[in-house]
Amino acid sequence: MRLARFGEFWPYYLQEHARAGTRALHYAGTTLVLLLLATLPFLHNWWLTAAVPLAGYGFAWIGHGLIEHNRPATFRYPLWSLGADFVMWYRFIGGHMVHDLRRAGVRTDGTVDPEQRLGL
């Protein structure tokens, strides 16, 4: 099954990020990406642009490999995953992630309600 809309992808994305440690590494990577992008024009070291994807994907993939033990959604849905990283960061900063996770069937212990699991 292939997802057709971002609204369908979002709960799947959250289920793939059920553990708090995985999300924390994503938040760290996304924050670093935003800081790098904001400071690049002032640093005059344009080779640092290579650090942008390394920061974002490096933190995320470490979380998926060592904590979540799953394959990053980036490989199947690259653009939606990139956008969802920023949505997740923004929702976390705004204090909305607990609600979003609950709606997606993610429990506080980092597991997913089997009845709500989106196995894709």
- Count of CA atoms in the C-beta half-sphere (13 A) of 92: 17
Q: Encode the chain (120 residues) as per-residue pLDDT tens digits.
A: 688 899 999 999 999 999 999 999 999 999 999 999 999 989 888 888 899 999 999 999 999 999 999 999 999 999 999 999 999 999 999 999 999 999 999 999 999 999 999 876
DSSP state of 110: S
Domain ranges of the chain: 27-103
> What pLDDT, on a 0 to 100 scale, did the predictor assign at position 95?
97
CA 34 centroid distance within chain: 14
DSSP state of 72: -
* Amino acid present at 18: A
* Amino acid present at 117: R
Model-level pTM greater than 0.85?
yes
For residue 46, what are the contacts with CB-CB under 8 A and spacing of at least 6? 40
